[in-house]
Chain A
């Protein structure tokens, strides 16, 4: 078995522990009731989404600096994993918002900047499919990835700088201890699963690029048709 699958196994084990604890041992929130338990997936997803976009930013800088293909592969793997987490964070956020805030969506700073991140990073993945030259593709991916990263600190700090509907970050002081624990466990779970996804995605990208390089010699094709 490949070593990378260890990340997946640890992540899945942790998410089972964290979620069972969050669904049983944690209390329902005093004002929200049981619906507050979605925090244990929403918050870990959001943290890791921003973290993985930070990884992509670092990989993109390395890709432009070195020109090595492995950094382009790493950048793409991180962006794609980040996009999956971004979709999950928006989805769980909307499911959380309806019963607590009373609405599915509003154009507040955190919701809007989170949606902008999804559009930007998904656009980079789309852009990649239009460029055939691997060098140009790597350069454009890295440049757009670096510029898109501007949005990520805005997601994090926007609720502190500007008026918003979304509350600011919680801390262990503002949360019951029995709620902090499952959130931490699930945060590490999602991190491990995300690393696993990135390694898997990098492997796929590598084999895709290798298969692109294998060009069938015209002579052999001529022989085949003969």
Chain B
């Protein structure tokens, strides 16, 4: 009838075997939880719901719903399309995903990397006149780092692919 020592067994810290079991169950459980979260993030189609920017094609497909909404537009700056305004603040250019071009009016001072053939992500909204207005211009470059004497003869299609503006995914 002497059961008093049993009471202390319920305390894991006083019974090493129970402590080991608890710890190992916790290990498997936390690994499992980590895997489930990772699986959901990787394969749960999150990329379709959380879109960092719209492509020119998607923007035009959206039609009027894109107007007056604050969105990001991403694409390649069409070479030779940049027109700098006389006030030194306005920039007019077009962005493309290789299929569709959208005219853009930016009121901002762009970084030195801004040029024809570079990628941009623009924050703004589509105007009723079909011109995308932005005040936040971000340059998106590719993963190439070359010496100054290296020539770059890539086509627009190749540049679009290199800067990941292809919309063939999903």
Is the Cβ of B52 less than 8 Å from the Cβ of A162?
A: yes
Is the Cβ of B146 less than 8 Å from the Cβ of A139?
A: no
Is the Cβ of A102 less than 8 Å from the Cβ of B137?
A: yes
Binary A-proximity of B33-54 (CB < 8 A = 1, otherwise 0): 1100110011000110011110
Is the Cβ of A64 less than 8 Å from the Cβ of B138?
A: no
B112 on interface, CB distance cutoff 8 Å? yes
Binary B-proximity of A90-127 (CB < 8 A = 1, otherwise 0): 00000000111111001011000000000000000000
Total residue contacts A-B, CB cutoff 8 A: 138
Q: Count of chain A residues with Cβ under 8 Å from any Cβ of B?
A: 49
Chain B stretch 124-170: residues in CB contact (< 8 A) with chain A: 136-150, 152, 163-164
Q: Count of chain B residues with Cβ under 8 Å from any Cβ of A?
A: 49
Q: Chain A residues with Cβ under 8 A from B52's Cβ?
A: 108-109, 162-165
Q: Which of B22-30, B76-84, B87-95 binds A?
A: B22-30
Q: Which of A6-14, A76-84, A153-161 binds B?
A: A153-161
Q: Chain B residues with Cβ under 8 A from A168's Cβ?
A: 143, 164
Is the Cβ of A150 less than 8 Å from the Cβ of B38?
A: yes
Q: A27-B148, A164-B52, A170-B145 are in contact. Are A103 and B136 (CB under 8 A)?
A: yes
Q: Which of A48-56, A171-179, A195-203, A215-223 binds B?
A: A171-179
Is the Cβ of A142 less than 8 Å from the Cβ of B147?
A: no
A211 on interface, CB distance cutoff 8 Å? no
A146→B146 CA distance, assembly (Å): 39
Q: Chain B residues with Cβ under 8 A from A109's Cβ?
A: 52
Is the Cβ of B140 less than 8 Å from the Cβ of A167?
A: yes
A33→B13 CA distance, assembly (Å): 61
B74 on interface, CB distance cutoff 8 Å? yes
Can you offer 29 A-B residue contacts whose CB atoms are under 8 A?
A: A27-B148, A29-B145, A29-B147, A30-B147, A30-B150, A31-B115, A32-B145, A61-B27, A65-B23, A65-B24, A67-B19, A98-B111, A99-B112, A100-B141, A101-B111, A101-B141, A102-B137, A103-B136, A139-B22, A139-B23, A142-B27, A143-B27, A143-B30, A146-B34, A150-B37, A150-B38, A163-B53, A174-B143, A176-B146
Chain B positions near chain A (C-beta within 8 angstroms):
13, 19-20, 22-24, 26-27, 30-31, 33-34, 37-38, 41-42, 46-47, 50-53, 74, 110-115, 118, 121, 136-150, 152, 163-164
